[in-house]
Amino acid sequence: MNVQDYKLANRYATAFLNVYYSQLVEDDKKSLMESIAFAQKRRRVLQLLRCTSFNKQIPAVVIKSLPLSVVMKNYCLSMSDTLIRNRRMDLFLYILQNMLIEWDKRDTIFRFTITSSSSLQLSQKKIIEKFLHKQIQGVALCIYQEDASLIAGITIQGATYAWSNALKDRLKEIEYSIIRKGIS
């Protein structure tokens, strides 16, 4: 996705929240997250959304099949008409993702994926969450995962925040430094 598309998807998401934010409840957010996961796991759903040149009813059928709340479904159906008219149905998933990011920002909630080379103890997780709280001044929702390729250390990835203290990244930095200096 290029910068122009990202900005456009973000404008659609912001427009949705400007109109509906006061009416939305936590179940709406849950349905949005389920729909994003559903569409990400089923790439054929996204391919169907792009088939508007064959049949303009396909996006409506696909959107109705998503586990969206009624408010969200109605908005997505009207949004799909605009996207079809402008031949931008390819932005649909990105708009949903941006809706979630913007919604979280308004609620001062920040989602992070914490990746470590091995399983973290509860005390280590508390240290990480305390560190994040100081950085963001909001609520940090953390998902922890393991990746042995990190060798040692952790990485923290959010929608607008990235931090790494992994040996793998440090070794890459050293390699790039050596290459830039022309030492082989």
Whether residues 43 and 62 share a domain: the answer is yes
Most confident of 59-68, 108-117, 157-166, 168-177: 108-117
Whether residues 73 and 12 share a domain: the answer is yes
Total Cβ atoms within 10 A of residue 9: 22
Whether residues 126 and 175 share a domain: the answer is yes
Whether residues 90 and 15 share a domain: the answer is yes
Provide the residue range defining the domain that includes 65: 3-105
Last residue of a domain, one of 80, 105, 130: 105
* pTM reported for the whole predicted model: 0.68
pLDDT in tens, 126-162: 998 888 888 887 888 898 999 888 778 888 888 777 8
- What residues have CB less than 8 Å from 39, skipping those under 6 apart? 45, 46, 66, 92, 93, 96
Last residue of a domain, one of 105, 122, 139: 105
pLDDT in tens, 21-42: 888 888 888 888 888 888 788 7
d(CA 123, CA 23): 38
